[in-house]
Amino acid sequence: MNPSGRGWITKLLKLIKSGHPEGFDSLEVLYLKLRDVGFLYGSNVATLNYLKDSSDYTKEERCKINLLIAFYSVHTNSESPETFETSLIDFYKEINFYESSLMNDLLGENLESILHKRIHIDNNILTKNFSFFITNALLFIDVMAYEYYLKNKTNTLDYLKHCESSIQTLVVSALNSKEKKTSYDLSLMKLLESSLRYNDRTSQNYMTIIDSVESKLEAYYYLDLACMSTWTDLKFESKEANFLNKLGKDLKISEPIINECKNAVRLFYKTHKNNMALLSSKNIVHSFYDNSSLIVSKLISRNSKRLYKELKESKDLVLLLSQSTLRDLNEEEQKQMQEQLLDILKSIPSLAIFMLPGGAILLPLFIKFIPKLLPSAFDENRIND
């Protein structure tokens, strides 16, 4: 399945229905699984166990998969008479996220495009992991609001605005509990504000939020986000820990669950800290290289059969590629290899990124991954997986 291609929702629903005929977890049970895969923290490191994960999936694609599974679980455990896709589109219309247009009216509403826009996939590969992980950490609000919508059908937008405003107040309060704010903390505050869709500035203080929490799930989510926001420097200061304990107690969460929330974020960030955008100290060049590598490796993996076939028909290019792993090619050889590579890439539409202005700077990365496709005779040190 390709989560970035047309028809991915239909394919995903078919896969999870056939693989789990016994039913789907309630949102309360699914919540802990969403936390484990990083969905609640805005950094999806795996897919939910309803679908086998793939190394080809990007974090954004995993995010789309996990979000859709969460929505589907909510719908499956509801009594809604509407079909899943129809009810979800109606939900996004209800909260004024879906923008109607003449083209949409002619072609029909497209759930795939709605979810794509909601996840805020940034076109700037230099900054996308940094800029939008907060937006994706707030996606669980949509899931809670969708459950609220299926139960009540009214006031969904008010509920969603209230959740966003509550999170903003509580996360800022958590960050203000720090003895000394870092540049990460200041960035987190700015990103949080820019990620809110409605940015309702209706005055809410700490106690009014506590008194208005409607469910245990909402309380757990607020505490988990507060834990995440204070853990970006990889430690809980005493004042931060005191604030989190007080918040959990005020939300009527037991002490073991409070400690579990703190331990969960500590374990997740320690395990995956090299992939967390705000925790990374990489400069813009390293970020560009890492993000570009992910793009190129995914493209090669998904087009490996076609590429191998094209390479077999270009013996001169294969020879040059194999030589490049042993010695530096001269200027003429490099030019010849680039020209032949571009000719091959033109024949594979999904690799059109290399044809764009500036796309040539990705060729060295492309060449780096190519040897895995070459016959083993060209690489004596190759170890089969």
* Domain-located, residue 384: no
Task: Provide the domain count of the chain.
Answer: 3
Residues 148 and 166 in one domain: no
pTM: 0.68
Q: What is the rounded distance in angstroms from the CA atom of residue 176 to the CA atom of residue 236?
A: 13
C-alpha 160/C-alpha 155 separation (Å) is 9
Asked if residue 353 and residue 245 are part of one domain, the reply reads no
- Same domain? For 211 and 169 the reply is yes
User: Domain boundary at 152, 178, 207, which?
Assistant: 152
Residue 93 covered by a domain: yes
CA distance 84 to 89: 9
Does residue 45 belong to any structural domain of this protein? Answer: yes
Question: Could you tell me the residue range of the domain that residue 61 belongs to?
Answer: 1-152
Residues 7 and 34 both lie in one domain: yes
**Same domain assignment for residues 316 and 259:** no
What does the alpha-carbon distance between residue 127 and residue 287 come to, in Å, rounded to a whole number? 7
Q: Please indicate, yes or no, if residue 385 is contained in any of the structural domains.
A: no
| Nearest Cα to Cα of residue 157 among 202, 91, 201 | 91
Judge whether 37 lies within some domain: yes
Render each residue's pLDDT in the chain as its tens digit; 385 residues: 788 788 899 999 998 888 887 778 899 999 999 999 999 888 889 999 898 888 888 888 899 999 999 999 999 999 889 999 999 999 998 887 655 444 444 344 688 888 887 885 444 333 333 334 455 778 899 999 999 999 988 889 889 888 888 888 888 888 777 777 666 666 666 656 655 565 555 556 888 889 889 899 999 999 998 888 887 666 778 888 899 999 999 999 999 999 999 999 989 988 887 666 544 444 333 444 455 556 666 677 767 777 777 777 777 777 777 777 677 778 788 778 777 777 777 777 666 656 555 555 556 666 666 655 554 434 433 444 4
- Asked, for residue 221, whether it belongs to a domain, the answer is yes
User: Is 326 found in the same domain as 374?
Assistant: yes
**Does 338 lie in the same domain as 365?**
yes
- On whether residue 231 sits in a domain, the answer given is yes
Report the C-alpha gap between 34 and 217 in whole angstroms.
Answer: 12
In this structure, the answer to whether residues 147 and 25 fall within a common structural domain is: yes
Q: Is 300 within the bounds of a domain?
A: yes
Q: What letters, b where the CB count within 10 A reaches 16 and e where it falls short, cover 145-173?
A: bbbbbbeeeeebeebbbbbbbbbbbbbbb
Same domain membership, residue 201 and residue 113? no
Residue 39 CB neighbour total at 10 angstroms: 29
Q: Are residues 65 and 140 in the same domain?
A: yes
Q: How would DSSP label each residue in 2-20? A: -TTSTTHHHHHHHHHHHH-
Question: Which among 102, 127, 152 is the end of a domain?
Answer: 152
Choose one of 124, 152, 180: the last residue of a domain.
152
